[in-house]
């Protein structure tokens, strides 16, 4: 049965830690009714880029890509939903609703939030189920060593809810892709900065992002 939670407890944090990816949804407000523009939904990978800061605050490392819709929308109105979805044996969908804050390198708060990454994982071992992963340690900061980092998205949670996920297929993870890492390794910091100016300055609706 679906349930609403007052905060992220140990069981929910363990579920988050076991998921290889998550989804982020945001939307702009372009008219007086709070609508208009394009709703954005983005898949996010790399387990070490997500962290639970406290029972009502989470954060993830935003990596350089072809668009910057999430950043633009958060700077305009702050609304964000994060969804974790299990593709393993036990079905479950977890949605985190809240208000997002964009923290970029050079911001006085960057070191504070960067120190919370990554949420490293370890196999639970014998008795831990089929490849179950559990939190191993936090606060090492290595998730933010990725050269393609462009922001940390901090989410102050105002609603947490799960649902059954009965219609979600069961699939096996082969491996994480390293294509984004290898793409960034071929570029200098100046190259990445120029790429962001060219591709991440505004949303597709013309809202300012990283320009």
CB-based contacts of 104: which residues, under 8 Å, 6+ apart? 110, 150, 151, 152, 210
Rounded to whole angstroms, the Cα distance separating 125 from 146 reads 29
Predicted pLDDT of residue 149: 85
Segment among 3-7, 52-56, 76-80, 178-182 with least mean pLDDT: 178-182
161, 95 in Cβ contact below 8 A? yes
How confident is the prediction for the chain on average, in pLDDT? 86
Closest C-alpha among 2, 3, 26 to residue 205: 26
Q: Report d(CA 48, CA 154) in Å as an integer.
A: 15
The predicted model gives 163-167 an average pLDDT of 95
CA-based radius of gyration for the chain: 17
pLDDT tens figures, 120-132: 344 444 333 344 4
The reported pLDDT for the residue numbered 144 is 59
pTM: 0.86
Q: Give me the pLDDT at residue 128, please.
A: 37
Question: What's the confidence (pLDDT) of residue 19?
Answer: 93
pLDDT score at 84:
97
Domains of the chain and CATH, by start:
3-199 (2.30.110.10)
The pLDDT score that the predictor gives to residue 46 is 86
Q: Is the pLDDT of residue 139 over 50?
A: no
Q: Decide if pLDDT at 107 tops 60.
A: yes
Residues 76, 37: Cα–Cα separation, whole Å: 12
Of 189, 205, 156, 204, the residue nearest 64 (C-alpha): 189
Which residues touch 89 (CB under 8 Å, ≥6 apart)? 129, 130, 170
Dihedral, 65, 59, 26, 175 alpha carbons, nearest 10: 50
2-45: pLDDT as tens digits: 899 999 999 999 999 999 999 999 999 999 888 889 999 999 98
Residue range 167-176: average pLDDT?
93
Distance of alpha carbon 129 from alpha carbon 125, whole angstroms: 8
As a whole number, mean pLDDT of residues 80-90 equals 95
| Contact in structure between 185 and 101 (CB atoms under 8 Å) | no
Which of 40-54, 107-121, 146-160 has the weakest average pLDDT?
A: 107-121
Query: Could you say which DSSP state residue 55 is in?
Result: T
Overall average pLDDT of the 107-113 stretch: 91
For 184, the token pair is 């960034």
More confident: 25 or 47: 25
């Amino acid at each position: 049965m679906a349930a609403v939670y007052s905060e992220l407890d140990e069981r929910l944090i363990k579920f988050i830690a076991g998921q290889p990816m998550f989804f982020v949804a945001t939307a702009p407000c372009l008219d007086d009714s709070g609508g208009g523009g394009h709703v954005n939904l983005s898949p996010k990978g790399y387990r070490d880029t997500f962290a639970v800061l406290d029972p009502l605050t989470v954060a993830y490392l935003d990596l350089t890509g072809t668009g910057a819709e999430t950043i633009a929308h958060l700077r305009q109105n702050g609304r964000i939903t994060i969804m974790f979805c299990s593709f393993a044996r036990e079905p479950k969908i977890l949605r985190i609703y809240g208000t997002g804050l964009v923290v970029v390198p050079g911001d006085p708060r960057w070191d504070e939030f960067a120190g919370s990454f990554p949420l490293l994982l370890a196999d639970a071992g014998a008795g831990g189920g089929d490849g179950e992963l559990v939190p191993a340690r936090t606060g090492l900061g290595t998730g933010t060593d990725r050269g393609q980092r462009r922001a940390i998205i901090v989410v102050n949670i105002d609603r947490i809810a799960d649902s059954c996920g009965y219609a979600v297929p069961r699939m096996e993870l082969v491996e994480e892709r390293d294509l984004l890492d290898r793409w960034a390794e071929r570029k200098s910091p100046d190259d990445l900065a120029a790429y962001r100016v060219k591709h991440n300055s505004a949303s597709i609706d013309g809202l300012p992002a990283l320009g």
